[in-house]
């Protein structure tokens, strides 16, 4: 069999399903009830520009393409390479991996969108994107074939506490990763001949917002592409290639049903190096040179059980009804707890008579400083959501200066508080225009490093009439 780029494997040839391109139609094409843009052919100049931007991005960050992954260059300056690995080296330092399991969500994005450089799926960012904004194409096949890919993905992840979204992006404050299900390698500046790529070296699934790619234009098999998406997502969890043509993490395309291995299986470095050995050693022993997919996935995510309890949110500061001098600052401190790891939250500042501002706690910030507050009455709300849609919140009201609507000096409003809400009911968390629907909302200005989130990073979010400065950083929940 000729060697292919590293891919997951298809089911038996008799079961392969061909992906047919959508026929031209006067009516806009739809997928899952949503309009979907037709794929636009790139010019030779556009392909060349994207290829150059891709190569420049790798060089600038000390990265290399290693098979179907983007990795720190082993020959780069050690300090640079360490920084690029982010949590892999900064948090663990090559020691035994021992994080608690966390619930997770993976968004299979068939709709494309504008990609920029970074590590945050909720902001449509990817480490594979350099200095250019890339208008990434939507999936061009049929809905039936898309559903086949989704089923392959859902079946493989069913034993674990991982939710699969595909009709709409999850709320931006929920930590989720994303697989772009469309396009081909040239769309991000890579050479043809690859079915997928992971743009992260996130050993042990430390950072939960990676973006990977399954190039659906590069194969006519929905089942192969479903397994491609699985393998690239798994690289972002920290899984490496292993032996065994019936394993999802086998680096070549072969016929046959594919599974996660449930026993320690030797590495396969035929298409690239093995990057997360210290994590694999925690499950298979040092110097074993093996990986146990199922044991690692179970450790990362835990078994698949429903989450019925809402996160509990408690605003510790400021106190309800606090009076603040004109132009003053306020510290917001929150405790967010849940019965499962993985919940996310956001800060909402709602001025009476003005537009609310939203900051998603992408790095699990438990504390912010609100500076430059104009006179007015403000409701400060922190909302949390878990991966089964359970929501909790807490809110207080503060008065700056003479209170009243923002920008006036009228009397204070009623100063009432919404109190704490943690009712365990589900919800999609979507409020149009505030970033909760997965679109870019106000966020930290300083980008996170390649390879994952460096939790010591700092930044500010300018929200027009105030500045939000994150104070403390924690990777997990606050409290």
Residue of higher predicted confidence among 351 and 409: 351
Residue 395 in this model has a pLDDT that exceeds 90: yes
Terminal C-alpha separation, the chain: 55
In this prediction, residue 426 carries a pLDDT of 33
Structure tokens, 79: 């300090």
Residue 447 in this model has a pLDDT that exceeds 80: no
Asked whether 319 and 455 are in contact (CB, 8 A), the reply is: no
User: Please, what sign has the CA dihedral across residues 87, 227, 152, 256?
Assistant: negative
Residue 468's pLDDT band (cuts 50, 70, 90): low
The fold adopted by the segment(s) 312-470 is Immunoglobulin-like (2.60.40)
**In DSSP terms, which residues pair with 436 in a beta bridge?**
none
Residue of higher predicted confidence among 209 and 2: 209
Instruction: Note the pLDDT tens digit of each residue in 27-38.
Output: 789 999 999 988
Asked whether 153 and 229 are in contact (CB, 8 A), the reply is: yes
Pick from 78-87, 273-282, 337-346, 469-478: least confident: 78-87
Angle CA 387–393–399, to nearest 5: 150
- Where does the chain hold its CATH 2.60.40.10 domain(s)? 312-470
Neighbours of 267 (CB within 10 A): 18
Mean pLDDT of the chain: 79
For range 91-108, the mean pLDDT: 74
Is residue 370 left, alpha or beta, with left meaning phi > 0 and alpha meaning psi from -120 to 50? beta
For range 229-256, the mean pLDDT: 91
Residue 466's pLDDT band (cuts 50, 70, 90): low
Asked whether 424 and 57 are in contact (CB, 8 A), the reply is: no
Q: How far apart are CA 41 and CA 214, in angstroms?
A: 18
**In DSSP terms, which residues pair with 333 in a beta bridge?**
317, 367
Residue 414 in this model has a pLDDT that exceeds 70: no
pTM: 0.81
Tell me, what DSSP letter sits at residue 206? -
Residue 127 in this model has a pLDDT that exceeds 80: yes
For range 234-257, the mean pLDDT: 89
Asked whether 172 and 436 are in contact (CB, 8 A), the reply is: yes
Structure tokens, 49: 């520009």
For range 433-451, the mean pLDDT: 34
Q: List Cβ neighbours of 79 (8 Å cut-off, separation of 6 or more).
A: none
Residue 272 three-state SS: coil
For range 229-243, the mean pLDDT: 95
Residue 446 in this model has a pLDDT that exceeds 60: no
Tell me, what DSSP letter sits at residue 476? S
Instruction: Note the pLDDT tens digit of each residue in 194-221.
Output: 999 998 778 889 889 999 999 999 998 9
For range 420-445, the mean pLDDT: 34
Q: List Cβ neighbours of 432 (8 Å cut-off, separation of 6 or more).
A: none
For range 210-238, the mean pLDDT: 94
In this prediction, residue 26 carries a pLDDT of 54
Residue of higher predicted confidence among 157 and 79: 157
């Amino acid at each position: 069999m000729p060697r292919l780029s590293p891919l997951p494997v298809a089911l038996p040839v008799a079961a392969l399903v061909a992906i047919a391109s959508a026929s031209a139609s006067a009516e806009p094409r739809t997928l899952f009830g949503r309009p979907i843009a037709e794929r636009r052919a790139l010019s030779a100049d556009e392909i060349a520009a994207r290829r150059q931007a891709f190569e420049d991005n790798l060089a600038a960050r000390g990265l290399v393409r290693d098979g179907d992954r983007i990795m720190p260059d082993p020959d780069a300056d050690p300090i640079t390479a360490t920084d690029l690995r982010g949590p892999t080296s900064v948090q663990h330092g090559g020691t035994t991996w021992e994080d608690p399991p966390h619930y997770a969500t993976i968004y299979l994005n068939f709709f494309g969108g504008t990609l920029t450089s970074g590590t945050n799926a909720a902001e449509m960012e990817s480490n594979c994107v350099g200095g250019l904004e890339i208008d990434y194409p939507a999936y061009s096949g049929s809905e039936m074939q898309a559903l086949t890919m989704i089923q392959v993905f859902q079946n493989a992840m069913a034993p674990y506490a991982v939710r699969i979204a595909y009709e709409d992006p999850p709320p931006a404050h929920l930590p989720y990763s994303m697989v772009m299900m469309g396009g081909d390698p040239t769309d991000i500046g890579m050479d043809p001949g690859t079915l997928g790529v992971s743009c992260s070296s996130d050993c042990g699934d430390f950072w939960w917002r990676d973006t990977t790619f399954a190039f659906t234009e590069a194969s006519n098999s929905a089942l192969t592409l479903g397994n491609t998406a699985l393998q690239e997502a798994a690289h972002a969890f920290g899984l490496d290639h292993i032996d065994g043509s019936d394993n999802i993490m086998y680096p070549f395309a072969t016929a046959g049903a594919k599974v996660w291995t449930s026993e320690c299986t030797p590495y396969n470095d035929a298409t690239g190096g093995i990057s997360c050995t210290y994590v694999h050693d925690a499950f298979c022993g040092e110097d074993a040179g093996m990986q146990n997919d199922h044991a690692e996935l179970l450790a990362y995510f835990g078994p698949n059980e429903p989450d019925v309890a809402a996160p509990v949110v408690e605003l510790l500061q400021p106190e309800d009804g606090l009076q603040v001098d004109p132009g003053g600052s306020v510290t917001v401190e929150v405790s967010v707890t849940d019965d499962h790891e993985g919940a996310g939250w956001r800060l909402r500042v709602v001025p009476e008579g003005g537009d609310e501002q939203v900051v998603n706690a992408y790095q699990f910030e438990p504390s912010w400083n609100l500076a430059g507050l104009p006179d007015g009455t403000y409701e400060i709300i922190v909302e949390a959501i878990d991966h089964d849609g359970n929501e909790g919140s807490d809110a207080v009201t503060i008065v700056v200066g003479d209170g009243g609507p923002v920008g006036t000096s009228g009397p204070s409003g009623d100063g009432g508080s919404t109190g704490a809400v943690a009712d365990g009911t589900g919800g999609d968390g979507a409020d149009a225009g505030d970033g909760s629907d997965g679109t870019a909302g106000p966020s930290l200005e300083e980008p996170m490093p390649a390879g994952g989130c460096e939790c010591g990073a700092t930044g500010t979010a300018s929200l027009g009439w105030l500045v939000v400065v994150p104070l403390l950083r924690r990777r997990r929940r606050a409290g």
